[in-house]
Amino acid sequence: MTRLNTHPLFLLGGAIVFALAISILFIVITLNPPMQDIQLLLIYMGGSSTVTVGGVYILYKRGWIGHLTSLRWALLIIILITVVLVFANVYFTLHLMYISQHDMMLTTGLLVFAGILAFISAMLIASSLIERIHHLNQASEKLAHGELHTRVNIDGNDEIAQLATMFNYMAKTLEETHTQQQLLEQSRRDLIAWASHDLRTPLAAIRAMNEAMLDGVVNDAETIRRYRQQTHQELQHLSQLIDDLFDIAQLDAGHLKLNRKPTALPDLITTAITGVSARAYQKNIVIHSDIAPNLPAINIAPDKIQRVLYNLLDNAIQHTPADGHINVAVAQQKNGVAVTIHNTGSVILSDDLPHIFEPFYRGERSRSRNSSGYRGTGLGLAIARGFIEAHGGIIEATSSIESGTTFTFTLM
């Protein structure tokens, strides 16, 4: 609802003119008094209204009502002023018209009676407004003390109801923001604990092996060769860890850049399978591919999708038991393609399934070495989801004891 921007004096002047016009019209229609009486009425009512409006404008301009410490007292004084003004205007107008003393006393008594009733009725009606504002005030105090779940009941359709609606919206927004801050803070703590663990472990191993070779503790060629090979593996893990942390930081900040270009998806899949074939061979895992023929080139960032394929295949190999199978399928859809990576043997618990794409979820287990000594960074699935969603696609997972685990992502 818009506020009146008219100057108060113009507003009050218009009110005087309107009140005089309506009152005189009513008197003329009902009583048909002579013109002389009408002129006297205009003089009396005009003078009375001018004095009244002058007093009201002074109260408005001084802002005395706003200095009160209670809205209840403010409404009480406003209602009292209204009743007094009505009583004074009618009383002095009747007095100036020289009506009989009997009629004057009778009218005064009726005015007092009507004024008291009007005052009590107005206070009763105003109390409901005060109560609603009081509830808003209490809710604001709770919100200020951190009770972000606080909400107020919305009654009616007036400005107070609109204010209550906005209060609830504000409280909900604050609660959601606070929850997000808590999650971010927890993620920060997880990141520090997780990164410090994964940085400390390979660095300690590299330092120990290097010191052993430098101090001459290890001097036979075979052990030195094995130490160097293990050092190389640890450095590869550190490099992968740094790359994953950089990608997660870009995704969280929303600064991920996609260099899109028309790309043949089958070539990316072949390259990804070749990259993980050595690990698959160590566990005697067979990787099949089922790629639909004549697939059109799609507009993607090939480096990012290559990373997604590698992460999903790497995850499948890690969780597929020896002598298992992995199948990679690509099918044409109406607006793009769907890529499915299925592995046998492993099952993701139903409680874990909705969270597997979250960074740091089940981080301790993701860091543990398997029987082949392989150790992942624990961020592969989170990065895969971020890259796919950045392309406007979706990624999901299903898992059951009967069929194994399947990851599917779509690209438009």
| 27 located within any domain | yes
Q: What is the pLDDT of residues 93-125, one digit of tens each?
A: 666 665 666 676 777 777 777 777 777 777 776
pTM for the full model?
A: 0.52
Same domain, 32 and 148: yes
Structural domain span for residue 387: 262-412
Q: Is 332 in contact with 355 (CB distance < 8 Å)?
A: no
| 218 located within any domain | no
Instruction: Tell me what pLDDT residue 113 has.
Output: 77
Looking at 138, 173, 208, which one is the last position of a domain?
173
Task: In whole angstroms, give the CA distance from residue 88 to residue 80.
Answer: 12
| 236 located within any domain | no
Q: What is the pLDDT of residues 340-373, one digit of tens each?
A: 889 887 788 877 788 788 776 654 343 344 444 4
Task: In whole angstroms, give the CA distance from residue 154 to residue 161.
Answer: 6
CATH number for position 278: 3.30.565.10
Q: Position 68: which residue type?
A: L
Tokens of 63: 């802002």
| 166 located within any domain | yes
Q: How confident is the model at residue 156 (pLDDT cuts 50, 70, 90)?
A: confident
Instruction: Tell me what pLDDT residue 387 has.
Output: 87
Same domain, 38 and 141: yes
Same domain, 156 and 45: yes
- The mean pLDDT value for 163-188 works out to 83
Reduced to 3 states, what is the DSSP secondary structure of residue 384?
A: helix
Task: In whole angstroms, give the CA distance from residue 129 to residue 72.
Answer: 10
Dihedral sign for Cα atoms in the order 56, 57, 63, 66: positive
pLDDT for 268 beyond 50? yes
Same domain, 165 and 293: no
Task: In whole angstroms, give the CA distance from residue 412 to residue 405.
Answer: 24
Looking at 137, 153, 173, which one is the last position of a domain?
173
Task: In whole angstroms, give the CA distance from residue 235 to residue 144.
Answer: 51
Task: In whole angstroms, give the CA distance from residue 214 to residue 221.
Answer: 14
Helix then strand then coil, in percent of the chain rounded to 5, is 65, 10, 25
The structural domain count of the chain equals 2
| 257 located within any domain | no
Q: What is the pLDDT of residues 27-85, one digit of tens each?
A: 788 877 788 777 777 777 777 777 777 776 776 676 666 666 666 666 777 777 777 77
Instruction: Tell me what pLDDT residue 62 has.
Output: 67
Looking at 113, 138, 173, which one is the last position of a domain?
173
| 250 located within any domain | no
| 188 located within any domain | no
Mean pLDDT of the chain: 77
Q: Is 375 in contact with 367 (CB distance < 8 Å)?
A: yes
